[in-house]
Chains A and B, each alone.
Chain A
Amino acid sequence: MKLIPAKFLLTLSLVAASLLPAIAADPNADQILKQMCAKLAAARQFSFKAHREMDPALVPGSEVAQSADVDVTVQRPNKVMAKSETEKGERRLYADGKTFSLLDAKMNFYTTIPMDTSIDGLVDQIDKRYGFVPPLAEFAVSDPYKEFRREASAVSYVERNTYSTDSGDMECEHLALTGKEADAEVWIGVNDHLLKKLVATFHREGNPQLHITFSAWNLAAPVADSEFTFTPPKGAEKIQMRSIAKQ
């Protein structure tokens, strides 16, 4: 059948209209990110594990890539315990709402300093006074979305894909974040809205990368206050923590 122009335009319009729902259904990347962050922010207490790999350029004091297994337990608003285990040793950080303690488990050194503040205040003060932050603290603060958006100027949707883990495959929303210091890709679970993987590529020479895979999210973790209370191991020696302000 030969289409006259009017019919051709009508057909084209119908075809275009049929495509519109598909385009409109493309998920809002920022909403997905916001949803994930809101879920974490709403959790009064939670725990998770992460495996982190950093290229050498991102590891102060090292010239080889560093991998770390990190366990984090959070009880809002002011308690956090993090354990970071690398090839070089194990560090533990405890914040019980009154004090902050750091333990080098390998050398059996520790320090405890007064820190009567919230997790947000802890992260801020430790960063300003001592030049570091507890591992993966951006997920423990009260507004993770704000932390993400502080670094990411734009968020875009990539695709929905299957992410394989030891415990099976899961569907994830794959997002891309664009930032001044680094660009990142994140994979967020379709069903549980929790972060499964993050890959950040830094805008530095060599474009070093940071890979973090997340697992064992538990947003209903029964957490005892004692988990955040630091007790020096037997024979541990208390040492000073040098402020970066002294340089």
Chain B
Amino acid sequence: MKNTLNYSLTLLTGATLLFTASIADARSYGVSSSSAGRGTKYTSSRGGTAYVGPHGAAAQGANGRTAAATKNGAAYSGPNGAAAAGKNGGYGTYNKDTGATSSGYRGTSSSGNTNYNTYHSTTVSSTNAVYNEANRVAVAGPNGVAVAGPNGVAVAGRSYAPCYPNGYVRVVPAGYSTVFYGGYNCFFVGGVYYRPEFYQGSTVYVVVS
């Protein structure tokens, strides 16, 4: 069943809050973005899309960020990282200055930078983020995400990240201003300049500084 909604405050709020997370993972909980009938698709007039299944929901905003929630927890991801919460209280947050930081209900914490490899998984080196609380939460990095907990959710954030070179993002964070920088028109937000380029036929943004 497919419903198209006109402007819905609820959906818009949901799409705003729930940006980029693992709908792929959510599918295993009965939420599907495919047309296979495992979930109901809702589309807002502002470009947000949500999928609701018997065990959870997932949404994508017009800017490409997505999120998922299941009975075991929830996760969302922004343009530079991700966060997740499990049903037992674990959660993780991303700090764009230090790389990744996460903490859990029982005191998990880590910081550093996580890297993604080119095949949809997140790798963590000894100098990067550390996951040190069994049963609870995990970590998010600047270009990829890794979140796991046996009682919580498992989230792979931006599966598209591996498609782009380091330093590229698909979406400029909200609140930017347009400035001329380094010989180019750039978007400036949070102390970072983003220069638009075409890459593999799509518009992406290079982090200039």
Check B203–A109 contact: CB distance below 8 A.
yes
Cα distance A209–B21 in the bound complex, in angstroms = 21
> Given A61-B64, A63-B159: A107 and B33 within 8 A (CB)?
no
Check B196–A63 contact: CB distance below 8 A.
no
Chain A CB within 10 A, most for which of B33, B51, B199, B203 = B199
Cβ contact of A242, chosen from B22, B47, B198, cutoff 8 A? B198
Residues of B within 8 A of A56 (CB): 23-24, 33-34, 159
Residues of B within 8 A of A211 (CB): 35
Residues of A within 8 A of B51 (CB): 64
A206 to chain B, nearest CB (A): 8
Check: A40 CB closer than 8 A to any chain B CB. Answer: no
In the complex, the chain A residue whose C-beta lies closest to that of B166 is A247
> Given A56-B23, A60-B163, A64-B60: A240 and B185 within 8 A (CB)?
no
Residues of B within 8 A of A239 (CB): 184, 195-198, 203
Q: Which of B140-191 contact A (CB under 8 A)?
A: 158-160, 163-165, 170, 184-185
Check A109–B196 contact: CB distance below 8 A.
yes
B189 to chain A, nearest CB (A): 16
In the complex, the chain B residue whose C-beta lies closest to that of A113 is B198
Check B23–A61 contact: CB distance below 8 A.
no
Residues of B within 8 A of A104 (CB): 198, 203
Check: B20 CB closer than 8 A to any chain A CB. Answer: yes
> Given A65-B35, A102-B201, A107-B203: A88 and B196 within 8 A (CB)?
no
Check: B80 CB closer than 8 A to any chain A CB. Answer: no
Cβ contact of B197, chosen from A53, A91, A241, A247, cutoff 8 A? A241
Cα distance A62–B65 in the bound complex, in angstroms = 9
Check: A166 CB closer than 8 A to any chain B CB. Answer: no
Q: Mark A56-86, 1 if CB is under 8 A from B, else 0.
A: 1100111111000000000000000000000
Cβ contact of A63, chosen from B33, B195, B200, cutoff 8 A? B33
Q: Mark A98-133, 1 if CB is under 8 A from B, else 0.
A: 000010100101010000000000000000001110
B6 to chain A, nearest CB (A): 15
Residues of B within 8 A of A247 (CB): 165
Residues of B within 8 A of A65 (CB): 33-35
Check: A159 CB closer than 8 A to any chain B CB. Answer: no
Chain B CB within 10 A, most for which of A62, A63, A131, A240 = A63
Check A102–B198 contact: CB distance below 8 A.
yes
Check: A225 CB closer than 8 A to any chain B CB. Answer: no
Check: B122 CB closer than 8 A to any chain A CB. Answer: no
Residues of A within 8 A of B198 (CB): 102, 104, 109, 111, 130, 239-242
Cα distance A64–B21 in the bound complex, in angstroms = 10
Cα distance A241–B203 in the bound complex, in angstroms = 9
Cα distance A56–B43 in the bound complex, in angstroms = 16
Check: A237 CB closer than 8 A to any chain B CB. Answer: yes
Could you name 18 residue pairs across A and B whose Cβ atoms are closer than 8 Å? Answer: A56-B24, A61-B164, A62-B60, A62-B64, A63-B20, A63-B22, A63-B60, A63-B159, A65-B33, A65-B34, A87-B47, A87-B62, A132-B201, A209-B34, A237-B196, A239-B195, A239-B196, A240-B197
Across the A-B interface, give the 6 residue pairs with the lowest CB-CB distance, nearest first.
A61-B160, A132-B201, A241-B198, A131-B200, A64-B33, A60-B163
Q: Which residues of B contact A (CB under 8 A)?
A: 20-24, 33-35, 43, 47, 49, 51, 58, 60, 62, 64, 66, 158-160, 163-165, 170, 184-185, 195-203
Extra contacts besides A60-B163, A63-B33, A87-B49 (12): CB < 8 Å: A60-B200, A63-B23, A63-B159, A64-B23, A64-B58, A91-B202, A111-B198, A130-B200, A239-B195, A239-B196, A240-B198, A242-B198
